[in-house]
Amino acid sequence: MHSGTINLKGRSFLTLKDFTPEEILYLVDLAAEYKDKKKNGILHDTLRGKNIALIFEKTSTRTRCSFEVAAHDLGMGATYLDPSVSQIGKKESIADTARVLGRMYEGIEYRGYAQSIVEELARNAGVPVWNGLTNEYHPTQMLADMLTLKEHFGHLDGLRLTYMGDARYNMGNSLMIVCAKLGIHFTACTAEQYFPDEALVAQCREYAAQSGATITLTQDAMAGTKGADVIYTDVWVSMGEPEEVWEERIRTLSPYKVTRQIMDNAGEKSVFLHCLPAYHDLKTTVGREQSSKYGFTELEVTDEVFESAQSLVFEEAENRMHTIKAVIAATLGA
């Protein structure tokens, strides 16, 4: 399955900064084709006999399951590597691990901490490396989000997306990049200290100049969400961050909680997205622990919005699998 002149065979997938708008849209469309095949029971196990390694230094439900199911559907084997039971980083460097795994596997997924680690892995592996989330970026999530929005609105160009919460971490950064590249007007609506890094904003403004997108940073929750097509949020405390940050995050980001009032301000045609997992109730251990200290019942989004008809979060979660499959297939040349 190839369209036009786009050929991603042999490429790593580390950040969407490395991909043109055409390449990003190609992957979204390829994912839609795979989704269609899967729904219609059409087998697509064209990568039989190949294998991938999945390194997870942070926990995961969606990303891990997406890679495993996608690999299986493509006819491939997948090995899950839990750093607590492997040598990675403790007794063996990332560069050595890359050179070992690159001889056994056709591709390697990495989820962990610094972006520099996944980049080092890619430099040394000799096979495509896929970023399954780092502190800085979450590029496979972006493809799922774009597929979800394209399915819902029928187009991406010209949409208005507002991200509320911690906009200087993986989700805020990645959404700003993909929106800037694809002509989606991006607003980071949060407290000033959670605005994305200035250098990245400047780089995205250059992408936006090409695509017709705009980038807005605002602390005004009502002005920032007025008329938005998409309201997007993420947890306020990300994986790997210390316990001490919770109190300040809750205090500073509470005005940016996605509530019914925010969705009404955006308008009845607006949709709600969240990469998940979400603290929209107290049905989680961490949610209950933090709630007993700080006395909330819901954090970044209210349960009402999360469960509403405007919420596309489970379509979005399903699309992780179809889009990750497209990344594997395109970079391995299925």
Q: Using an 8 Å Cβ cutoff, are 30 and 130 in contact? A: no
The size of the interface with ligand NVA (CB under 6 A), counted in residues, is 9
Tell me which DSSP letter residue 92 carries. B
Site for ligand CP in 236-295 (CB under 6 A): 275-276
**C-beta neighbour count of 77 within 10 angstroms:** 16
The window from 11-19, 22-30, 148-156, 163-171 that contacts ligand NVA (CB under 6 A) reads 163-171
234 binds, among ligand CP, ligand NVA, none (CB under 5 to 8 A by kind): ligand NVA
Cβ-based nearer residue to ligand CP, 191 or 276: 276
- Give ∠ CA 199-125-317 in degrees, rounded to 5: 65
Which run of H or of E encompasses 56?
Answer: strand 51-56
Q: Which string of b and e fits 163-202 if b means at least 16 CB within 10 Å?
A: bbbbbbbbbbbbbbbbbbbbbbbbbbbbbeebbbeeebbe
In the chain, count H helices and then E strands: 13, 9
Q: Which does 116 bind (CB under 5 to 8 A by kind): ligand NVA, ligand CP, none?
A: none
Binding of ligand CP by 133 (CB under 6 A): yes
Instruction: State the catalytic residue, choosing from 185, 249, 320, 322.
Output: 320
Binding region for ligand NVA (CB under 6 A) out of 110-118, 186-194, 204-212, 234-242: 234-242
User: Which residue among 57, 109, 229, 234 contacts ligand NVA (CB under 6 A)?
Assistant: 234
Q: Is 60 in the site for ligand CP (CB under 6 A)?
A: yes
Q: Is 234 a catalytic residue?
A: yes
Nearer to ligand CP, 60 or 135 (CB): 60
Whether the CB-CB separation of 248 and 193 falls below 8 Å is answered with no
Cβ neighbour number for residue 7 with a 10 Å cutoff? 13
Site of interaction with ligand NVA (CB under 6 A): 133, 169-171, 234-235, 238-239, 275
Give catalytic residue positions: 111, 138, 141, 234, 275, 320
